[in-house]
Chain A
Amino acid sequence: MREQILAILEKNSRIDLKELAVLLGVEELDIVNEMAAMEKEGIICGYHTLIDWEKTSIDKVTALIEVRVTPQRGQGFDNIAERIYKYPEVTAVYLISGAYDLLVTLDGKNLREISRFVSDKLSTMDYVLSTATHFILKKYKDHGTILAKKYEDEREKVSP
């Protein structure tokens, strides 16, 4: 049941719990209990909204920053990752295999704000060897949702 609940919630966290129970053919109480348990276990970490900021009048720039760091003895990358993710403007930090170590995503009002963060905060940290900043120009798809296109039903309206 957990897998099915998560599959639905991941697409629509605002779903009515009674409706969720109908869809899965179980009792509403079971859904409530299961969700509470998953929240407690940290499986469900939040219920967020996917926003296409492009369509608003709010200025927003997103950057992906590749960061190469020297891992610390006994800490690996955890310590440095923590120092980075504590900044509220940082939206994600991933440890990555390959040519660099950490992938940091960052939201800012404009390019200047982001470059200031990179030059003042990020690249001056101990253990950070180098950074490479990529600005996102257009989001086609985010969190499994295609942002650009609207779905239209082109099927014949009645068919055998």
Chain B
Amino acid sequence: MRNPLADKAVELKPSGIRKFFDIVSEMKDAISLGVGEPDFDTPWHIRDEGIYSLEKGRTFYTSNAGLKELKVEICNYLKRRFHLSYDYVSEVLVTVGGSEAIDIALRAMINPGDEVLIPQPSYVSYEPCAILADAVPVIINLKAENEFRLTAAELREAITDKTKILVLPFPNNPTGAIMEQKNLEEIAEVILEKDIFVISDEIYGELTYKEDHVSIAAIPGMQERTILINGLSKSHAMTGWRLGYACGPKEIIAQMLKIHQYAIMCAPTTSQYAAVEALKNGDEDVKQMREAYNQRRRYLLYAFRQMGLECFEPYGAFYVFPCIKEFGMTSEKFAERFLAEEKVAVVPGTAFGDSGEGFLRISYAYSLENLKVAIGRLEKFVHRLREEQGRS
């Protein structure tokens, strides 16, 4: 038989998280700090609206770009929260989570050989999606000393004649880093000068703890060259509903819509109706969840300080990214031993790119009670490692 497989698919690296996942799921009593989704249930009024839409028999396709009502609410929301103006008719596309939006944005904009800049550590799907779109991914390794923000100098240095797109993943998974207005203004200057485009993944845009999130699209001159990606997964605890969206210049959205229409048809209808309710009446839920995350974030940073574990203060998402270089082992080794010896799962920073070496991603999408138990075990483990080091 001939080889049925595409080289491009075979050559994709399996996700670094997957391997860990397999070990953890076999360990029955392990507790986990490895989850990348909210611990809250979707607020009831939103779930209720989804149920109601099913009861009413709204089980048909919607138009490819999404329900008009939802697109209008998305525009209202972006205006209200991030001071952005989009035309719901031509500049908004409802997708199956932010993930689909990333994929089709790349596919709609890339010609073979175009370079896509991907700052890392970052979410695992940018690089494979870029490869699948025939782009050449170019990694920018973000640095701890910059609190894992992207600097104008780093950006300038990575740009070549072939560079077409910068993926901008802030607030960041896994580091929790944010880009503040002045940071964005600095990189925008380079972007405009070099005439490149931005795919800005702002899925954690509601979860910032210093000042309100600023979208790069709000920086003068940037909206016309930015595909803004967002969704309700993190903000409204709606991961399983698979509902995201992309907003941008109508020329690009039109091409994305074509791919979306052939590959996906439309985002799940039930989820779209629920999302209308979420965006209309969910601001207070978002605020309450943000406050809960913020309290846990403060607790973790305090606990790290107490045990002398180095960690920059992250102002976004629901992750902290402590440094474990003092123990002289790889992130993966640390995570493996921590799991084996204390039965707590954390994700090694390297699952999100080579520049995550020496760091761990710890999620605080857990109740405070859970966090306390896990942190107690981390403290024990860190003590033991230091004792080992003292002996050798």
Contacts and interface: CB of A to CB of B under 8 A. Distances in A.
B10 to A, nearest CB: 21
A158 B124 contact: no
A124 to B, nearest CB: 44
B299 A22 contact: yes
A82 interface: no
B240 to A, nearest CB: 9
Interface stretch (A30-38, A69-77, A110-118, A149-157): A149-157
B295 A24 contact: yes
For chain B, the bracket of interface size reads 20 to 34
Interface in A64-102: none
B20 A158 contact: yes
Contact of A159 (B37, B125, B302): B37
B298 A24 contact: yes
B291 interface: yes
Contacts of B302: 22
Nearest to A8: B295
A4 interface: yes
Contacts of A19: 299
B381 interface: no
Contacts of A23: 295-296, 298-299, 368
B389 interface: no
B25 interface: yes
Interface in B24-66: 24-25, 30, 32, 34-37, 39
A159 B35 contact: yes
Interface string B92-131: 0000000000000000000000000000000111000000
Nearest to A155: B35
Contact of A158 (B24, B39, B123, B368): B24
B285 to A, nearest CB: 14
B371 to A, nearest CB: 11
Interface of B: 15, 17, 20-21, 24-25, 30, 32, 34-37, 39, 123-125, 173, 291, 295-296, 298-299, 302, 345, 347, 351, 368
12 contacts: A4-B291, A22-B299, A24-B298, A153-B39, A157-B30, A157-B34, A157-B35, A157-B345, A158-B21, A158-B34, A159-B35, A160-B17
Given A24-B298, A160-B124, 17 more contacts: A4-B291, A22-B302, A23-B299, A23-B368, A24-B295, A25-B298, A155-B37, A156-B21, A157-B24, A158-B17, A158-B21, A158-B34, A159-B34, A160-B15, A160-B123, A160-B125, A160-B173
Interface of A: 4, 7-8, 19, 22-25, 153, 155-160
